[in-house]
Amino acid sequence: MKFLSKDLRGILVRRYWADRIFRLCTVTMFLITLGTLAALLIDVFSDGVGRLSWAFLTSFPSRKPERAGILSALVGTVYLVILTAVIAFPVGVGAAIYLEEYARRGRMSRFIELNIANLAGVPSIIYGLLGLELFVRTMHLGQSLLAGALTMALLVLPLVIITSQEALRAVPPSIREASFALGASLWQTIWNQVLPLAFPGILTGAILAASRAIGEAAPLIIVGALTYIAFLPDSLIAPFTVMPIQIFNWVSRPQNGFYEAAAAAIIVLLALLFLMNVVSVYLRQKYQKRMSL
Amino acid sequence: MADNMKPIASYVFEMQDLNGWYGDRQVLKNISLLIPEQQITAIIGPSGCGKSTFIRCLNRINDLIRDFRISGRVLFKGQDIYDPAMDPVEIRLRVGMVFQKPNPFPKSIYDNVAYGPLIWGARKGPELDAAVEKSLKRTALWDEVKDILHQSALALSGGQQQRLCIARALAVEPEVLLLDEPCSALDPIATSRIEELLFELKKSYTIVVVTHNMQQAARVSDITGFFLLGELIEVGETKHIFTNPTDRRTEDYITGRFG
Amino acid sequence: MKRHVDEEMETLKEKILQMGAMVEEQIAYAIRALVERDSERARRVIENDHRVNALDVEIDEDCLRLIALHQPMAGDLRFLTTAMKISTDLERMSDLSENISERVIELNEEPLLNLYIDIPLMAQHAQRMVKESLDAFVNRNSDLARKVCQDDEFIDNLNQQIFRELLAFMLENPRSISHAIRISFISKYLERIADHATNVAELVVYLVEGKIIRHTGL
């Protein structure tokens, strides 16, 4: 190789050093990220772990910090997430199936997809405003669990649609071709081959959406989730509250005891998120199949 | 064009001036061809000559490609399959297809073969079991898989997977079997097993094979058609095409002087 | 697109031409040995036959190898199969020249009877047929090949004529029978050589046109 300078050794040494420096930089970035997260968790845990107890989980909020509990918020969160999922999941997956399998590719469908992607990035408070006008006032649902769930469903719908579409797209076209070649209709192909294969991905998307919904406070405040509830919602149109709002409420109180209670509530919220992710991973593993050679 | 064909009792397919376009690009030009019944017809030609596009017109699986359109007629037993009144799904029941890369469903071996009958209304039960067994026997796969019917089809070797795809296609009892380069992804032993299989299947089905392997076309087929740049250059009895072709271009392709 | 195998087929063609040249020489020398009563030359013809045989074997092996390794089709396939058969015909022609030489040696031990009449003419004609059939092969000229096939008639007639003349002579001169018979054999051998040349010509027609005209006429 005549074009190589005689300084072959030098080039190799320089390359080696460049590699090391680059590696060092990326490791540092990683450690900064990890460190920040760790600091966050350690801070929260150290403040709140002392307050965790069965009583904490089963008591209603109270004006006295020692007696405050998250029962109503926890139950409200759980109800809200389930309800949101029930509404958003079929609608989102159905829309994704339509866009991916039935709709004709063209400027129109690209336009729609672009808008859905944009909607995913709209600040959640705007959804709150929409929910207020549409569900609370126009549909007369009042400041209820149902209105909250519908609002959250709207919020996470773009996410569900996008991730479901991705999951559907990941199914190899060869599988579809094979099904069509046997004389299957589009519906038979989707139901028997495409959906089962896309299911893990769709499920992951759904849980991702639920994780987003759990952490929202602003839109729910607008829709009318209360900050102090000492009872459990007994119907869909009952008033309700959720954990993030409860946490916000406690943090803005002057007493220190509430600060610790808020930290403890944060721990519970994180635990809930963690649990959901574990379930998502488990379900994904269970249903994931190799799709081809 | 068809001047080297022995008159044969009946033809299953007749193409009349078939033209095909992907958008503005014409990929099939004035194809007129007869496919005889219960014989193996091979379609050969260099890459990009339109042979895959051609065979995919025979079961209208090209309909799935958004930009594709045709003109001309494709008659299957006298009926134009592109007639608007024709349901492509019905055609695909009678004209089956096997693809280049084996594409079994990621389900069990049994479920793969049973899928066709099930979507056409078969019920689960001993009759379906018998149909699955019959298909697998016909592709000489039964003995190899009869004890592992409920294992994933993806655990089979490439050659076995392709035979499974053939069994799957046969399970709906088609009249014609189209194979688009069925052995491209397989090793020589698996290839020769599939070729042997085609000889067997010829007794009950009309077979059309697209292949870029000329020796395979020579070994296996009764009739060979040579495509070049979207046109059908020559078609005739295989033994004639490979010993004394009429068109200079056919000779050049077959002897490897180009392509 | 020139292929690797084209070179090998060129080499094969050269070998056939080489064999053809040898065979033409064999025929020419055999007849010279007859006309000049040169037994030495006759013996050399007999010895040379093994060189022609060796070439025949070589050509056969080459053809077999090329077919096995290159899976030829169409024109290439016809070329290799006709090359094998032409080689066989040429080898038979050399054998016949050998036979002529054997008869020449026997004739030279007897006194000259000047019965050779039209044998040299026949030989000349046969040689020309061999040459032209090989020319047709080299140039892929099926018209020339067809002409060779027609020329066979002349030799057949000449053979008949020579036989009648010898028969007449034998009837009048019984003591010359062994001599005359040997001459008739030579005539027969030449006629057979011409037949083989015709075979070569028919093969050339198959090579060029893909039509088999053997046994069925043109």
Neighbours of C108 (CB within 10 A): 17
CA distance A98 to B198: 40
What are the tokens at A115?
Answer: 């808008």
Touch criterion met for A and C (3+ Cβ pairs within 8 Å)? no
Domains delineated in chain B: 11-254 (3.40.50.300)
Mean pLDDT score, C25-45: 93
* B238, B239, B244, B251: best to mutate for the C interface, most C CBs within 10 A: B244
**Angle in degrees, CA B219, B220, B223, rounded to 5:** 105
Q: Which CATH superfamily is domain A57-287 in?
A: MetI-like (1.10.3720.10)
Give the model's pLDDT for residue B147: 93
User: Which of A101, A102, A182, A193 to mutate to test binding with chain B, by most B CBs within 10 Å of its CB?
Assistant: A182
Cα–Cα distance for residue pair A50/C184, rounded to 1 Å: 131
Question: Chain B within 8 Å of A172 (Cβ-Cβ)?
Answer: yes
The pLDDT value given to residue A5: 65
pLDDT at C199 over 90: yes
- Cβ–Cβ < 8 Å for B202, B38: yes
**For chain A, first and last CA: distance in Å?**
41
Answer yes or no: is pLDDT of A3 > 80: no
Q: Count of B–C CB contacts within 8 Å?
A: 31
pLDDT by residue for chain B (259 residues), tens only, comes to 444 455 556 899 999 999 999 999 999 999 999 999 999 999 999 988 899 999 999 999 998 888 899 999 999 998 999 999 999 999 999 999 999 999 999 999 999 999 999 999 999 999 999 999 999 999 999 999 999 999 999 999 999 999 999 999 999 999 999 999 999 999 999 999 999 999 899 999 999 999 999 889 998 999 999 999 999 999 999 988 998 899 999 999 998 887 5
> C4-209 architecture in CATH?
Up-down Bundle (1.20)
Distance CA B6, CA B79 (A): 23
Q: How far is A172 from chain B (nearest CA, A)?
A: 9
Record: contact C210-B244, CB cut-off 8 A: yes
Segments making up each domain of chain A, as ranges: 1-37, 57-287
**Test the B interface: residue of C73, C140, C213 with most B CBs within 10 Å:** C73
> What's the angle, vertex CA B38, arms to CA B37 and CA B41, rounded to 5?
80
Q: Touching check for C76 and chain B: CB below 8 Å?
A: yes
- Nearest CA-CA partner of C91 in C125, C133, C121, C54: C54
Domain residue limits, chain C: 4-209
A183 to B120: CB separation less than 8 angstroms, yes or no? yes
pLDDT at C1 over 80: no
Is B244 in Cβ contact with C73 (below 8 Å)? no
The packing angle between helices B188-201 and B158-170, to 10°, is 20
DSSP of A43-110: HHHHHHGGG-SHHHHHPPP-SSGGG---HHHHHHHHHHHHHHHHHHHHHHHHHHHIIIIISPPSHHHH
CB contact under 8 A, C74 and B254: yes
Nearest to B36 by CA among B14, B19, B54: B14
CA distance B259 to chain C (A): 10
Contact between C74 and B215 using a beta-carbon 8 Å cutoff? no
Residue B101 falls in which region: left (phi positive, over 0), alpha (psi -120 to 50) or beta: beta
Rounded distance between C-alpha atoms, residue A108 and residue B32, angstroms: 38
User: By the 8 A CB rule, do A138 and A203 touch?
Assistant: no
Q: Do B242 and C3 touch (CB under 8 A)?
A: no
What are the DSSP E strand ranges found in B54-183?
68-76, 79-80, 95-98, 176-180
How many CB atoms neighbour CB C150 within 10 A?
11
Partners of B127 in the β-ladder: none
State phi, psi for B236 to the nearest 5 degrees. Answer: 180, -175
Q: CB neighbours (10 Å) of residue B246?
A: 15
Calpha distance A41→A28 (Å, rounded): 20
- Of chain B residues 119-148, which have a CB less than 8 A from chain A? 119-120
Compute the residue count for chain B.
259
Q: What is the CA radius of gyration of chain C?
A: 19
Q: Is the ipTM of this complex over 0.85?
A: yes
- Say how far apart CA B123 and CA C186 lie, in whole Å: 87
pLDDT category of residue A49 using cuts at 50, 70 and 90: confident
Nearest to C74 among B215, B243, B258 (CB): B243
